[in-house]
Amino acid sequence: MRIGKTQVVDTFAEAFGMVYTRLIVTAYDEHWLSAATNELCGYGSSVIACDAEVGVERLLPTNESPDGRPAAAVLAFGFSADALAKAISKRVGQCVMTCASTAVFDGLPAAEKRLPLGKTLRYFGDGFQKSKVIGGTRYWRIPVMDGEFFCVETLGIEKGVAGGNIIFQATDQPTALTAARLAIEALAPLPNVIAPFPGGVARSGSKVGSKYKGLSASTSDRNCPTLRGRVDSLVVEGANSVLEIVLDGTSEEAIATGMKATMQAAAIDGVLAIGAGNYGGKLGKFHFHLKDLI
């Protein structure tokens, strides 16, 4: 199988069930919106070590903004509702409430299952906080030094999918980086999916386990070009730089669409092969076969 000159390996990506929430963050202008979302999404690449996997889903046009200001939808994924609730409360409290001019709204208003947000953060108001019900939804107005932090009381939570991925092998690092940029740019306009690693790309792909006691994950040695010849390598002849794009989505369809878009965009001259990471189908119930996607 090929996309242009790029070989597509007959393999599959193995993904896992997780829960997710969607926050709508608004701010005075694009500068402060970017400041808030950059902080909110920081240290949110992988739940192997992070409290949540977090990324900007998309920027919202003015007519979709809940208060008419610049707005962004942010998706956050976790292994459990309780873990996600703790992560989001801390992240919003430390990274969004502290950012000048921001407000937070619920991006999943129809969801039956809820996690607390303003319900918890309101106590920062030290008794001066006030609640307000608008259209049947309760919000909290927390006094801060630039006015008020306006925050929805709860966020909806739903089941999602995390860990869809593609791994592409290039002749050199500049080619790999160019392919990565093109792939993430192709992903950006798609709803319901994020790539939570830095710049949307993981250079330190991992495998389960390690020779060192206490490590749950270690370097994906079979995908490391410098280890070709020392391990049962998956790196094709001529490839010297390998990068991975990991996707989290609200559904299987969102992951499949995202994987297809990134595969098509990454298949440029100098990208010799595109594959995916899996664990033999033993750990994740969602399998995305590359041959089906193309």
The answer on 209 and 147 residing in a single domain is no
The answer on 198 and 178 residing in a single domain is yes
What DSSP letter does each residue of 14-31 carry, written as one string?
A: EEEEEEEEEEEEE-SSHH
The answer on 284 and 167 residing in a single domain is yes
Average pLDDT on 86-92 reads: 98
Could you tell me the CA-to-CA distances from 7 to 61, 167, 244, 271 in Å, in that order?
A: 38, 12, 16, 8
Do 292 and 31 form a contact (C-beta atoms < 8 A)?
no
Instruction: Write down which residue in 106, 123, 158 finishes a domain.
Output: 158
DSSP-derived pairing of the beta strands 206-208 and 154-156: unpaired
The answer on 201 and 110 residing in a single domain is no
Average pLDDT on 9-27 reads: 97
The pLDDT score that the predictor gives to residue 282 is 79
The answer on 235 and 144 residing in a single domain is no
The pLDDT score that the predictor gives to residue 41 is 98
Convert the pLDDT of each residue in 98-123 to its tens digit: 999 999 999 999 999 999 999 999 99
The answer on 206 and 172 residing in a single domain is yes
The pLDDT score that the predictor gives to residue 281 is 81
Q: Which residue from 250, 221, 243 is spatially nearest to 234, judged by alpha carbons? A: 221
Do 275 and 165 form a contact (C-beta atoms < 8 A)?
no
Average pLDDT of the residues of the chain: 97
Query: Crossing angle for the helix pair 252-266 and 173-187, nearest 10 degrees?
Result: 140
Residue 144, token pair as written in the block:
């801060």
Average pLDDT on 27-32 reads: 98
Question: Quick check: 283 pLDDT over 90?
Answer: no
Average pLDDT on 169-174 reads: 98
Instruction: Write down which residue in 158, 182, 217 finishes a domain.
Output: 158
Q: Which residue from 201, 199, 262, 247 is spatially nearest to 75, judged by alpha carbons? A: 247
Residue 136 burial (C-beta neighbours within 10 Å; 0-12, 13-18, 19+): exposed
Domains contained in the chain, number: 2
Question: Quick check: 280 pLDDT over 90?
Answer: no
The answer on 108 and 36 residing in a single domain is yes
Distance in angstroms (rounded) separating the CA atoms of residues 90 and 189:
28
The pLDDT score that the predictor gives to residue 24 is 98
The answer on 216 and 144 residing in a single domain is no
Average pLDDT on 229-234 reads: 95
Confidence of residue 256 (pLDDT cuts 50, 70, 90): very high
Convert the pLDDT of each residue in 48-61 to its tens digit: 999 999 999 999 99
Strands (E), 130-226: 130-134, 137-144, 147-152, 154-156, 158-170, 193-194, 206-208, 217-219
What is the domain-level CATH number for residue 197? 3.30.70.520
The answer on 199 and 247 residing in a single domain is yes
The answer on 167 and 139 residing in a single domain is no
Question: Quick check: 279 pLDDT over 90?
Answer: no
Residue range of the domain that includes 53 = 18-158
The verdict on pTM exceeding 0.85 is yes
Residue 16, token pair as written in the block:
């896992």
